[in-house]
Amino acid sequence: MKFKDWATRVLLISLMFMALIVVLLIGRATKLHNHPTTSHTSNPQVTAWSQYPQAQFQSAKEPENKSQNVIKSPVKTSKPVARYVTSQAFAQYRPNYQVVSVNPTNYGERYSQDVNGIPVNNQPIIVLHETGYSASSAINFFQVAHDDENVQASYHALVKLDGTVVYLVPPEKRAFGAANSVFDGSQGVETVQTNPNLPASVNNFAYHVSLETPPDSYDSSSQQTHSGYTEAQYNSLAWLIAQSQVPDDRITTHHLVDRSGKKVDPINFDGHKFLSLLNTYRQVKPIARVSQ
């Protein structure tokens, strides 16, 4: 074999090997791109508990932005002719807040149908509570797993004595704030049964907010009265609810919706003070209609 022919064959074999190496490297790079390492994958069990503080709250300086809807209706509703917008007073008040996770056994999903398969279209309500004891004791209870459905309980949020807002259950979820309960409003009696083993309740369309009970009630032989709530609590409660589109006449109390005859909270609640503050933090704004 001539040297020239031998050199040509060696060159061709070398080029083939180089091409094979390039193909292998490209294939490996493609595989790494399509299948990233586990350190970059998301954990589906992690809930975005920080969604409350990340919400874009509306301010009086930015009327074009939508305010946060504290509660979402489980069904589509007709277009409103007016909406609530937050005020300058709202923009100037900023309470401290905490985000606390709740054990998943203590809350659930909002249903679009009841236990009988009948569609539900209740408009949202807000139910006001009080903790009975300290805020920390309530939070500790919510963080413990409860398999007994008669024991499970939670709020969407609570307001501490110093006005700190504690976000607990995401607003789109169903908190277990009221067991046997009914809302009697302008549209008639409203309640939804979502569990065949439990009484009907307002939980499916309610947003539950609780006020921390003052310490002078803890050791009382009869927890029917106490010194009342702080100014900071009233302000933070009104500030929180001002971000919703829930009208005044659909804001109620645990005592009013309860049908067990056992719930009396929130005790000594000054409804007039609360509504006055709420109307300071939000106003009704008509929605302009486009002529057809």
Whether 98 and 7 map to the same domain: the answer is no
Q: In sequence order, what DSSP letters do the residues of 177-232 get, joined into one string?
A: --SSB-EEETTEEE-B---TTS--BSGGGEEEEEEPPPGGGTT-SSTT--S---HH
The reply to whether 74 falls in a domain is: yes
Is the pLDDT confidence value at 113 over 70? Answer: yes
Are 105 and 129 members of one domain? yes
* pLDDT of amino acid 142: 98
Does any domain span residue 47?
Answer: no
Domain span at 31 = 3-40
- Same domain (yes/no): 26, 103: no
Q: Is residue 89 part of a domain?
A: yes
Indicate whether 121 and 220 sit together in one domain.
Answer: yes
Q: How far apart are CA 234 and CA 175, in angstroms?
A: 22
Rounded to two decimals, the pTM is 0.74
Q: Are residues 36 and 163 in the same domain?
A: no
Q: Does residue 48 sit within a domain?
A: no
Residues 9 and 75 in one domain: no
Q: Is residue 203 part of a domain?
A: yes
Whichever domain contains 103, its CATH number is 3.40.80.10
Determine which of 4-13, 20-29, 155-164, 273-282 has the lowest per-residue pLDDT on average: 20-29
In sequence order, the β-bridge partners of residue 99 are 167
Pair 29, 76 in one domain: no
The span from the CA of 74 to the CA of 170, in Å, is 14
Residue 49 within any structural domain of the chain: no
Check whether residue 140 and residue 212 sit in a common domain. Answer: yes
* Residue 35 Cα distances to 25, 28, 30, 85, 194, angstroms: 15, 10, 9, 46, 41
Same domain for 17 and 68, yes or no, is no
Whole-number pLDDT of residue 219 = 74
Average pLDDT of 205-227? 86
Q: Is residue 45 part of a domain?
A: no
190 near 122, Cβ under 8 Å? yes
Residues 30 and 67 in one domain: no
pLDDT in tens, 31-62: 333 333 333 322 222 232 334 554 333 333 33
Directed axis angle between helix 231-241 and helix 271-281, to 10°?
A: 50
Q: Are residues 167 and 115 in the same domain?
A: yes
Indicate whether 8 pLDDT > 80. no
- What is the tally of structural domains in the chain? 2
Does 218 have pLDDT greater than 50?
A: yes
User: Which of 233, 275, 229, 270 has its CA nearest to residue 251?
Assistant: 275
- What is the amino acid identity at position 57? F
Task: Return the DSSP state at 35.
Answer: S
Q: Specify whether 152 is located in the same domain as 20.
A: no
Backbone angles phi, psi at 231, to 5 degrees: -60, -40
Radius of gyration over every alpha carbon of the chain, rounded to an integer in angstroms: 28
Residue 53: predicted pLDDT:
53
Residue 46 maps to a domain: no
pLDDT of residue 55: 39
Residue whose token pair is 């302000």? 235
Band of pLDDT at residue 186, cut at 50, 70 and 90: very high
